[in-house]
Structures are given as structure tokens and as C-alpha cells.
Amino acid sequence: MRRRLSYANVTATLALVFAMSGGALAANHYLINSTKQINPKVLKSLKGKNGAAGKIGATGAAGPTGASGPQGKEGPQGLTGPSTGPAGGALTGAYPNPTLASGSVTTSNFAAGAEAPIAANAESLGGTPASGYQTAAHWALVDKGGTIVSQSGGISVVSHTSGEYILDFGFSVVGHPILVTQSTRDNSFVGGVSTAPCGTTTESYPNCGGDPTTDVFVGTEDSADTGVSERSFYIVVL
């Protein structure tokens, strides 16, 4: 018996065709969103070798300086150094009792306006007076004619008139004690004698006329102290 085409048969046939073609279309557009959906062997075969390393890029700008770290702990105290051995520099001898070397300190080492110390101070330190040092006392014996009979050194008579003498001591006498007394070498009774540094300070003799720094005035009087008279005298500047 021959079957006839009906609406139901046609509809079923079309539905079957569309179903088969839709599955194929879905297969062509299947999405992979996880490596778990791919066989590990396939993944391994897909992985290629590493490429060659690229060139090193330019060095970047230096970053800001970091904050200082905390201070470290204080280290242990070192061993005490030796207290013996030769001294050097301005010293001579050996430790622990070195002394100043001869000539190691001069007036060039003094502060501006400082007075040169007397030689006795240098000798007390075990040294020898260097250039510019004063002796413990500068003294001179001057006869009535203005001639220096004897002296400690460095002193000269720069002016002499009747009973008036000006002596140059060769260093600043400002602020130093000055002592003077007449001498009996003239074999006569002596009179008064006076002295003062030349200059304009309260301790000076302003009419001296000599150097205000290094010169000293001495005036001698007759035995009656009534007027100036040439006399021998001793003078000392400390």
C-alpha cells in the first residue's frame, strides 16, 4: 500500500534536518574556556620553545634615597695603646714623659697680641728658649756717660742728655715691671732716679720721645735731689 505525504510527515522531516544542521553549526562554534577541556597531550604538543632573549633595556632613573636605618649598637672598647715609645712632632724624648723639642715653638705660634713667654717657662717644660723668647730678666748697667757697661743682651742706649737716658730693649716693654737704681760706681753719694716706658699710656712718660713700645726713659738726679745729674744706674725689665 503506497503511503501518501501528509503535513505531519513533512513537519517531522524538516525538524530532523534542522536538528542535524544545528548540531553541526554548534560544533563549528564550540567555545573553549578552560585548559581542562583540552587533552594534556595536545597542550604539550602546542607548547613551543622559548624565543631568544631580547636586548637589555635602558637603565631607569635612580629612585629616591631611602630613610636612614637605625643606629647600630656601640662596639666594644678597644685595647689601651702603648704608653711607651719615641715622641715626635714638637716633642722629644719618649712617652710617657716627652718634653718640648728645642726650637719647636716660636713667636709665629702665638695668638695675635700675645706676649712672648719668658725663657724660664720654656726651661721648666724641659725645652730651650727658641727665637722670640724673652730671658727671665733683661738688665743693664749704664755708666753716667750713657755707655752700657754690661747687660743681659739686646739692649742699646738710643739717646743721652744730661741726666736723661733712653734705652731700647728690643721687645715690647708695655705692661712689664721696670726697676731702676743708681750705682755707686761713680764713687759718690747718689741721688734719686726715676724710670718709665716711653709712650702715651698711664704708666708711660709722654715726653720721652722714644719708641712707645720698646724704649724706656731713665732720669737721674744729683745727691741733693735738686736737679738732673749724670749718674750710673742699674735697670731691669721683668
Do 155 and 207 belong together in one domain?
yes
Mean pLDDT of the chain: 78
**How many Å apart are CA 86 and CA 19, to the nearest integer?**
114
- pLDDT for position 235: 95
- Cβ of 187: how many Cβ atoms within 10 Å? 6
Model pLDDT, residue 131: 47
**Are residues 155 and 197 both part of a single domain?**
yes
Q: How many C-beta atoms lie closer than 10 Å to residue 197's C-beta?
A: 25
Domains contained in the chain, number: 2
Is the pLDDT at 140 greater than 70? The verdict is yes
Judged by DSSP in three states, 236 sits in: strand
Q: Which of 59-68, 86-95, 120-129, 198-207 has the lowest mean pLDDT?
A: 120-129
Q: Is residue 142 part of a domain?
A: yes
Query: Does residue 142 carry a pLDDT above 90?
Result: yes
Residue 189 has pLDDT above 80, yes or no: no
In a domain, 89, yes or no: no
- Output the nine-digit C-alpha cell for 71: 643606629
45-49, 57-61, 110-114: range with lowest mean pLDDT: 110-114
More reliable by pLDDT, 126 or 161: 161
Question: Is 207 within 8 Å of 198 (Cβ atoms)?
Answer: no
pLDDT band for position 125 (cuts 50, 70, 90)? very low
The count of other CB atoms within 10 Å of the CB of residue 168 is 19
**Residue bearing the bigger pLDDT, 166 or 135:** 166
Higher pLDDT, 135 or 86: 86
* Shared-domain flag, residues 120 and 161: no
Name which of 113, 155, 148, 149 is nearest 134 in CA terms.
Answer: 155
Q: Same domain, yes or no, for 120 and 147?
A: no
Q: Any idea which of 27-41, 73-87, 143-157 has the lowest mean pLDDT?
A: 27-41
Among 46-50, 87-91, 125-129, 207-211, which stretch is predicted with the lowest mean pLDDT? 125-129
CB count, 10 Å around CB of 215? 22
Residue 15: per-residue pLDDT: 61
**Count of beta carbons in the 10 Å neighbourhood of residue 119:** 17
- Output the CA torsion 228→231→234→235 (10° steps): 30
Rounded distance between C-alpha atoms, residue 106 and residue 131, angstroms: 6
Query: Is pLDDT larger for residue 98 or for residue 134?
Result: 98
233 in the same domain as 143: yes
Contact status, residue 143 vs residue 149, Cβ threshold 8 Å: yes
Q: Taking 70 as the threshold, does the pLDDT of residue 172 lie above it?
A: yes
- Altogether, the residues listed in the chain come to a count of 238
Domain of residue 122, residue span: 97-105+114-135
The more confident residue out of 226 and 119 is 226
Q: Pick the residue with more confidence: 91 or 30?
A: 91
Percent of the chain beyond pLDDT 90? 20
Q: Where is pLDDT greater, at 65 or 43?
A: 65
**What's the average model confidence in pLDDT over 10-33?**
58
Q: What is the DSSP letter of 234?
A: E
Is the pLDDT confidence value at 5 over 80?
Answer: no
Same domain, 101 and 164: no
174 lies in some domain? yes
Cell numbers representing residue 221 in the block: 738726679
